[in-house]
């Protein structure tokens, strides 16, 4: 059994699950084996996991397996003489109740208000948010009975994530697959956080652009995109509709964001500008090239040709456009990667580009910026409220940046005044 104490110490700040009580109800379907991985990930994220199993679930995974990984032993008896009111006690103490996998039977039980086992009784008794992760064969999922039950549960505010399309038990394929454990944990975290940004759209750019010399060679920079991806995850966990415009191939947890892959500064400009109007927040974490080859060759340059110089032309700095022409209420955030005069250079960029915030990092310092998992930044704000964030994980830095954006939202500051602000 994992008491969660050790995990609490290293709880992932971005998911915000530290010390949260998650009742994880596992029902009887083949996807129950994935609930084991979900349980482990929740505990790793710092949650206190209270596992419940239906009798049918124990036919698919061992009670001992789940008890060993969770924060408490598995409970499955509604009439346990040593704990006769477990369902109300667990229901009251929960921060969230997650059902993974949610079978057609438990969905039907919930929709009709039945309470004939510990899982269904806890679901009926709780006032905590409930999130279901359905998994079943496509025919069962598409049956009008299940669809009507699901619609009913949704109308009561119950969140239903998935099912996904893909391989199903018995070699079949279709809609009915449990979403991946990473997405389950992410959705539980988002539910626990209460989606404070649910009406917001956030665009985040990430990675270094790649400017072609010829079809096989590029000019690029050392940006890995890790900070931008962490920022997108931080926005999504707050419930924002998130659009990640990235040059990085790094995997993004499914269901987290609309991901737009781009290569060049011009591609990134097109991807961002075409979506900017509907964004409430734009975070330009990407390292956009300032110059590109003026005339990229349309065939591979052969070494016999001995090219001696590449003529460069400037790219367009579209952050200047975004900052100075934003719509009322929009918040625009830039990044400044510097190797000298960090704060003075960053402040000058914030003013000239008309930004609300700029995140300054000195990339010449060890462990800071490009390619590392850690970063050390100063967040400069137009209202003068500068915040220094000492060396820590890029996920923690992402949380700090989102806190500052949230503070500006609270002040109603985003951009109605684009004159440069008092902090400059
Ligand atoms: N940026 C942009 N388009 C460009 C260049 C930069 O949108 N063509 C954005 C970056 O995404 C970043 C901010 O502008 O948010 C600052 O980028 P940075 O490279 O630090 O500064 P530059 O303005 O390019 O100035 P310099 O290279 O002289 O430091």
Is 317 a pocket residue for ligand 1 (Cβ < 6 Å)?
Answer: yes
The predicted-structure confidence for 316-372, as pLDDT tens digits, reads as follows 999 999 998 888 889 999 999 999 999 999 999 999 999 999 999 988 888 787 878
Structure tokens at 384: 């003068």
> pLDDT tens digits, residue range 365-394?
887 878 788 999 999 999 888 999 999 999
Q: What is the pLDDT of residues 306-316, one digit of tens each?
A: 888 999 999 99
Residue 417: predicted pLDDT: 39
Instruction: Name the active-site residue from 221, 341, 345, 375.
Output: 221
Using the mean position of ligand 1's atoms as its centre, give its distance from the Cα of residue 287 in Å: 7
Q: How far apart are CA 106 and CA 104, in angstroms?
A: 6
Cβ of 207 closer than 6 Å to ligand 1, yes or no, is no
Which CA distances in Å does 396 have to 16, 334, 348? 11, 18, 26
Q: Residue 44 — pLDDT band, cuts 50, 70, 90?
A: very high
Band (422; pLDDT cuts 50, 70, 90): very low
The pLDDT of residue 418 is: 36
Active site residue 221: yes
- Over residues 221-240, the pLDDT tens digits come to 999 999 999 999 999 999 99
**Do 245 and 203 contact (CB within 8 A), yes or no?**
yes
Q: What's residue 2's pLDDT?
A: 60
User: What is the residue-averaged pLDDT of the chain?
Assistant: 91
> Which residues, 6 or more positions from 308, have their beta carbon under 8 angstroms from its beta carbon?
none
Which of 222, 335, 342, 368 best tests ligand 1's pocket when mutated (most atoms within 8 Å of CB)? 335
Closest ligand 1 atom to Cα of 319 = 7
Name the packing angle between helices 104-111 and 144-155 (round to 10°). Answer: 50
* 318 CB near ligand 1 (under 6 Å): yes
pLDDT at 1: 63
Q: Which atom of ligand 1 is nearest to the CA of 320?
A: 7
Determine the distance separating the centroid of ligand 1 and the alpha carbon of 355, expressed in angstroms: 12
Average pLDDT over residues 34-54: 96
Residue 345 Cα: closest atom of ligand 1: 29
| Atom 6 (ligand 1) nearest CA | 288
């Amino acid at each position: 059994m994992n008491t969660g104490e050790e995990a609490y110490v290293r709880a992932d700040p971005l998911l915000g699950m530290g010390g949260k009580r998650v009742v994880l109800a596992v029902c009887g379907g083949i996807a129950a084996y994935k609930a084991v991985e979900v349980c482990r990930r929740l505990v790793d994220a710092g949650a206190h996991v209270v596992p419940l199993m239906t009798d049918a679930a124990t036919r698919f995974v061992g009670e001992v397996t789940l008890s060993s990984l969770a924060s408490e032993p598995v409970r499955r008896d509604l009439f346990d003489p040593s704990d006769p009111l477990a369902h109300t006690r667990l229901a009251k103490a929960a921060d969230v109740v997650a059902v993974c996998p949610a079978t057609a039977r438990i969905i039907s039980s919930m929709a009709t208000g039945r309470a004939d086992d510990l899982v269904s009784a806890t679901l009926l008794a709780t006032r905590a948010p409930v999130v279901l992760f359905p998994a079943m064969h496509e025919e069962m999922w598409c049956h009008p009975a299940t669809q009507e039950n699901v619609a009913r549960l949704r109308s009561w505010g119950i969140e239903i994530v998935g099912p996904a399309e893909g391989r199903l038990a018995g070699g079949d394929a279709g809609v009915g697959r449990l979403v991946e454990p990473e997405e389950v944990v992410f959705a539980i975290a988002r539910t626990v956080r209460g989606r404070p940004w649910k009406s917001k759209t956030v665009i985040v750019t990430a990675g270094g652009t790649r400017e072609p010399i010829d079809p096989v060679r590029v000019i690029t920079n050392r940006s890995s995109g890790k900070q931008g991806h962490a920022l997108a995850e931080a926005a999504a966990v707050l419930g924002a509709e998130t659009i990640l415009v990235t040059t990085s191939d790094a995997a993004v947890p499914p269901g987290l964001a609309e991901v737009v892959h781009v290569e060049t500064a011009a591609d990134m400009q097109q991807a961002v500008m075409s979506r900017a109007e509907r964004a409430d927040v734009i975070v330009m974490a990407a390292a956009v090239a300032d110059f590109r080859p003026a005339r990229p060759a349309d065939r591979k340059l052969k070494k016999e040709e001995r090219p001696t110089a590449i003529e460069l032309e400037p790219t367009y700095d579209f952050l200047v456009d975004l900052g100075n022409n934003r719509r009322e209420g929009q918040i625009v955030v830039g990044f400044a990667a510097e190797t000298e005069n960090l704060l003075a250079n960053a402040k000058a960029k914030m003013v000239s580009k008309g930004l609300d915030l700029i995140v300054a990092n000195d990339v010449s310092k060890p462990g800071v910026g490009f390619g590392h998992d850690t970063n050390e930044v100063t967040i400069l704000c137009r209202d003068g409220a500068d915040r220094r964030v000492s060396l820590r994980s890029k996920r923690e830095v992402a949380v700090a940046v989102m806190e500052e954006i949230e503070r500006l939202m609270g002040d109603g500051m985003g951009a109605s005044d684009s004159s440069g602000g008092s902090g400059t």
